[in-house]
Every structure is written in C-alpha cells, then in structure tokens.
Amino acid sequence: MRALILAGMAAAFSAGAAVAQAPAGHSPLATKGGWELGAQLARYRYEEPGLMWLKGDRGGVSGAYTALGLQQVHARLEARSSYGELEYQGSGVLSDVPDYLFEMRALIGKDMRAGSIVWVPYVGLGYRTLYNDLRGTSSTGAVGYRRLSRYWYVPMGVGMRIGIGEGLVLAPQIEYDAFTNGKQRSYLGDTGSGFNDVTNRQRRGRGYRAQLMLEGRRWAFGPWTHYWKIKDSDLQPIGLGFAGLEPANWTRESGVELRYRF
C-alpha cells in the first residue's frame, strides 16, 4: 500500500510539472527561500466518540527552512511544538491535563506559473507525536494514565500564490495526509490496576489541512486547521486475561499563526 501511495504521488507530480504553462522564475510570487520562525495559538479537541474527549487552548512555536533549487523546485523542512492544559471528560472530569505535541515534515514542491497565479504542488513525509498526562483521579474516582501517540504520514497538497498589490501575496493551501501507520503507547501501569503498559498499532486513517496566509516581504499571518480521523487499532494483551485497543478517534486543531522570515 505504501509503495502504491508513493508511486501515485510521483506520477501526479510529474504530470503536474508537464502541464505547467511557464516557469515562475524570480517573480515576486515565487516561493521564498530562507529561515522562518513562527508563533501559534489554537483551539484543540480530541474525541473518542461515545467514550471521552479532551479539549482546550494551545500555544506553540514553529520553524521552517526552504532551500531553492533549479527549475523552480524547492525543498522545505518544517517543525512545530505545541502545549496545552486541557479539560478531560470521560470516566469523570479532570482539568489541566498536560498535553504536548511535536511534528516534523520534509517536503518537496515546484512553482508553476499559470497566468497571474503561481501553483505550488508538493509531497513529502511527516511525523507527529503527542503526549498527554492523565495521571490523577477524576471526579468519579477513576485513575488515569499517560498516553504517547506517534503518526507517520505522507502529505500531498497544493498551494496558490496570488498577488493582491502593495507587495502582498495571498497564499491559500490545502492538503491530504495519507496515514501510513501509528503507534499508541498506553501506560496502564499508572492506574495500579494490575494491567501492563501496552503499545497498539494503528494502520488506517487520514488527515486534512488547510491554511490561508497573507504574506508581506518578511512576515506572514493567517488562520489554519488540521484534522485527523483514525480507525480502531489492533488488539494487544494488557494482562489479567484481557486485551485492549486504541478506539477510533478524531482530532481537530484550528488556530492562527504569525511567521517572520529571516
């Protein structure tokens, strides 16, 4: 399956390059190279339907480096880190749950000029890890535990760069994230119930992203949203004759970001 995804991306990218009307050259609309540093604010919700949810505000930082190559091809490395103290509701209620998120992505894209717009198709590889600490006792007396989630995925997207005057560029972007696999580590030993820590494999899911940035010469600002929907994991023994799985879940994170280019 992974080989088919990669082959499809390569074919689509080659076809897109072949139909480009003209290279972007050094147009003001062309993708800009260099380092970027950003700050993010977001609203976050994770839900296992019918079982539990976590929600709250997050703050984070982001960084990126874009290297420009020949034929308007560019390579981009991205990383971001985010933190929130979330509200839990499930087997009771628990507040101020620490929740850490870190993500890294490596992308390759190409500027393709079509009239007054530059289209930027891209593909890449992504890794996302999230850790939350539900240790403590909820309002019903239930004892929580720590969870560590890791996703590997293939981002496939397209951006647009549209000049709107006064040196400003409007840059919308949409993306599909082909989920390849994930691992969920549940530290059930934290509960003192006799269950063992367990790692479940997740093999089915998908993600989507969108953003709308307004770019100046050095800065960019705009809203963005990320969404994940993941199916049930495999079953793994957790001790005492029981087996456990990571239930189907979805995550939505939406916010705004301010970036500065060096």
Pseudo-torsion of CA 35, 84, 174, 178, nearest 10°?
100
In this predicted model, which residue has the larger pLDDT, 209 or 1? Answer: 209
* Spatial CB neighbours of 13, under 8 Å, sequence gap ≥ 6: 110, 121, 123
Question: Which pair of tokens denotes residue 215?
Answer: 């770019």
Q: Tell me: the pLDDT tens digits for 217-234?
A: 999 999 999 999 999 999
Say which DSSP state 191 is in.
G
Q: Which residues of 66-93 are buried (b: 16+ CB within 10 A; e: fewer)?
A: bebeeebebbbebebebebebebebbee
pLDDT at 249 over 50: yes
pLDDT reported for residue 26: 56
**Per-residue pLDDT for 11 more than 50?**
no
Phi/psi of residue 24, nearest 5 degrees: -75, -25
Reply yes or no on whether the pLDDT at 4 is more than 80. Answer: no
Residue 9 region by backbone torsions, left for phi larger than 0, else alpha for psi between -120 and 50, else beta: alpha
> Tell me: the pLDDT tens digits for 129-176?
999 999 999 999 999 999 999 999 999 999 999 999 888 999 999 999
Contact 138, 93 (CB under 8 A): yes
DSSP label at residue 14:
H
Q: Residue 116: its pLDDT value, please?
A: 87
Q: pLDDT for 76-89, tens place per residue? A: 999 999 999 999 99
pLDDT digits (tens, 9 = 90+) for 46-105: 999 999 999 999 999 999 999 999 999 999 999 999 999 999 999 999 999 999 999 999
Angle, CA 84 vertex, CA 79 and CA 85 arms, to 5°: 160
Fold classification of 2-261 is: Lipocalin (2.40.128)
- pLDDT value of position 165: 87
- Residue 17: phi and psi, rounded to 5, are -65, -35
Look at residue 17 in the predicted model and tell me its pLDDT: 41
Residues belonging to the chain? 262
Q: How confident is the model at residue 207 (pLDDT cuts 50, 70, 90)?
A: very high
DSSP tag of 25: T
Residue 166: per-residue pLDDT: 85
